[in-house]
Amino acid sequence: MSFIRTEDRDGVRVITLDNPPVNSLSFALSGELVPIVEAADKDDGVKAVVFIGANGIFSAGADVNDFSTEPTPETRTIRDVIAAVERSNKIYVAAIQKNALGGGLELSLACDYRVATADTKVGLPEIKLGLLPGAGGTQRLPRLIGAQDALDMMLKGKNVKAADAKEKGILDEVVESADGLLDAALKLAKNTEKRRISRRKVELGKGITAQAAPFIVSQAHKMVPAEDAGGFAAHKLIDAVEAAFELPFEFGIAREARLFEELARSAPSFALRHVFFAERELAKIPGLGDAKPLEVKKAGVIGAGTMGTGIAITFAQAGIPVAVIDSNADAVEKARQTVFGMFMYQVQKGRMTQEEAWKLGQSIHFTDDYNELADADVVIEAVFESMDVKKQVFEKLDGIVKPEGILASNTSTLDIDEMASVTKRRDKFVGLHFFVPANIMPLLEIVRGKDTSAQTLATAFKLGKTLRKTAVLSTNAFGFIGNRMVFDYAKAAGALAEEGISPMRIDRVAKTFGFPMGPFAMGDLSGIDVAWHIAKARPDVAKGRTDVIDRLVEMKRLGQKTMAGYFRYDKSVGKGREPIADPEIEALFADEAKKHGIAPREVSDDEILQRLVFALINRGAYLLEEGVALRPGDIDIVYIFGYGFPPHHGGPMWYADEVGVKHVYDKVVEFGWEPAPLLKSIAEKNGTFAALKQGELINA
């Protein structure tokens, strides 16, 4: 298979990158491209070269698979392509359409000129994979736009729109559409007499003198997380950019290459690349076949509470009109204000115009008339977490919504098959579990019932993509994937508190590991009363050893909403969201522990972390064995995108492999927990979750 096409146009050789779908600059493509560049340089009939991409895109960068491949002496990479470009005496122009990311942008930076379509975005997002730009980006971009702007762009891994890229100096010309792209590039190539490769001294930024360089570098290191807390790649990136203004270009390139190789073999990068691939596996569902998804043109939401309003905003932002049904006038008024405030915030941030905000706001219609859902393609229930209430809603919807319409529940724990049983469309029933706030949180658990059809499932996954959510499949089980695991996590935290460890210390250990908040702050955020209701419904799953939650509810300490839960909250401290340690709660845990014969003991921070995270791993192994979760990577995505598990540790199941599954198993036994048979099986084989094949999950 050929990845390159060439064509001569009046002394200009047009080299087209053709490696669908995104023209990744793989080892194979680079191996083919190097001799083509060298041949163009030797051809006296060629004055200039234009790089352009097929498939409506320039290049999304390197093939991530190659980062884990050990190159041979014969391997050619994008670095070799760029070196061949730099050795050449020809003029080089990059004709960029849609995306020039990572190695794609680095290739264009090695060219003399860059022309792009107006819808183009350029960026160096390698930091998201625990890497730094490894084909000259850390050296060329600072020379082009200044070290400060370049470092900001690379540390955030953000994409820059064409107009902004031109203003910064990354692009030389922007054309309106792809129709004029090649002509503009050819014109630049023909009208240029000599190369424009710059080796100029790097400027730090506007108004910043060279003497300030050590201070700027020091401050940059202070502004990113510590190396062992997710900032390993960020610190190496800062070192690489420092080399750009301290060292000659050739030495800077060598420093960049060394730092890149160090990162490519680091544990955080392996973890982040695992997340990258796991996310791309999510939609590969056995049995889905060629099921054709239904088109969703109109949606309905039952309930104008926090969750229902967030779901409605999500649909509106995706361009899907939505009717919100609620008979509570106060709730509807509050929801209207939330919608208005959200879109006005977007206007203030410059993310949309007032006209766009008005249009989106008008696409959400509040009513108490269920009949307005007759023509809805999908209706999502977001009412109180009560099976009886939900069944009443679905019984009513089943008689109103058109027969082909899909009914969905946003329940976080309850049995969707029981809900579906009151309808005559069990095949068109599915769980769509959004996370709070629904319009911001990226995760969507799609819950398949025993009768959910392949078409309904395909529609749910397509809808998730339309709503810009990361959708993960779960089968119907109490709590599904995320919440079923969080019950074990919360119980482990509660058991530690009962043994005399303060909730503040437990939360601090979790945050030091990389969670955005600890288990007790998370409980306060979601509501103690919510946990209490779940514990009453399923004490076997959610109730701890003592009655702490019952007593908190009696004391009306329900979490942040009452300014007191496991912690106290004060509006003068962190706008009422910052936890404040409360000796009364430590005394409460001690009292309950004494009643139940639980003795206090000394516990290390390492054991605190192990009990929290290994509880997740053990339950995750159960869910894999039971078929609730399809793959270990699916669990990792749920916990990273829905619960803030630190991405540089790859998710709980990847972390088990990182520290050793046998080590996890031994500790689970030591803690007196019942180890999952799958965990035991992998430990006995000294294996890993990552190495599991689909059939082994059930048969282990």
- Spell out the SS3 assignment of 596-662: CCCCCCCCCHHHHHHHHHHHHHHHHHHHHHCCCECCHHHHHHHHHHHHCCCHHHCCHHHHHHHHCHH
Work out the pLDDT band at 209, boundaries 50, 70, 90. Answer: low
Closest CA to 101 of 163, 169, 31, 157: 157
Examine the pLDDT at 661 and tell me if it is beyond 80.
yes
The verdict on domain 299-475 having CATH code 3.40.50.20 is: no
- State the architecture of 483-699 in CATH terms: Orthogonal Bundle (1.10)
Rounded average pLDDT over 14-28: 95
CA angle 407, 413, 416 (to 5 degrees): 30
Domain(s) of CATH 3.40.50.720: residues in the chain: 299-475
Residue 384 above 80 pLDDT?
yes
Residue 609 is predicted with a pLDDT of 98
- Say whether 538 sits in a helix, a strand or coil: coil
CATH 1.10.1040.50 intervals, the chain: 483-699
CA distance 394 to 214: 64
Q: Can you tell me the mean pLDDT for 680-697?
A: 84
Candidate from 501-505, 557-561, 692-696 with smallest mean pLDDT: 692-696
What is the rounded average pLDDT of the residues 270-290? 93
Q: Which of 402, 404, 377 is nearest to 463 (CA)?
A: 377
466 versus 385: which is more confidently predicted?
Answer: 466
Confidence of residue 205 (pLDDT cuts 50, 70, 90): low
- Report which of residues 254 and 696 the model is more confident about: 254
Alpha-carbon torsion (467, 430, 291, 375), positive or negative:
negative
CA-nearest of 122, 95, 128 to 106 is: 122
The confidence score (pLDDT) of residue 254 equals 96
Assess whether 256 carries a catalytic annotation.
Answer: no
- 498 noted as active-site residue: no
Q: Which residues of 348-366 are buried (b: 16+ CB within 10 A; e: fewer)?
A: eeeebeeeebeebbebbeb
Residue 467 falls in which region: left (phi positive, over 0), alpha (psi -120 to 50) or beta: alpha
Q: What is the pLDDT of residue 73?
A: 87
How high is the pLDDT of residue 665?
A: 98
Mean pLDDT (whole number) for 452-473? 97
d(CA 183, CA 584): 74
* pLDDT of the residue at 691: 92
11 close to 93: Cβ distance less than 8 angstroms: no
- In whole angstroms, what is the distance from residue 632 CA to residue 281 CA? 11
Residue 231 has pLDDT above 70, yes or no: yes
Q: How confident is the model at residue 578 (pLDDT cuts 50, 70, 90)?
A: very high
What pLDDT, on a 0 to 100 scale, did the predictor assign at position 213? 74
Q: Are 139 and 281 in contact (CB under 8 A)?
A: no
Mean pLDDT of 310-336: 95
Q: Which segment of 122-131, 187-196, 205-214, 442-451 scores lowest on mean pLDDT?
A: 205-214
Active-site position among 126, 381, 592, 625 = 126
Of 7, 86, 106, 262, the active-site residue reads: 106
User: 91-95, 164-168, 341-345, 397-401: lowest mean pLDDT where?
Assistant: 341-345
Looking at residue 700, its pLDDT comes to: 46
pLDDT at position 198:
63
Mean pLDDT of 519-527: 94
Confidence of residue 211 (pLDDT cuts 50, 70, 90): low
Here the tokens at position 90 are: 């020809």
Average pLDDT (552-568) is: 96
pLDDT band (50, 70, 90) for residue 564 = very high
pTM for this entry: 0.92
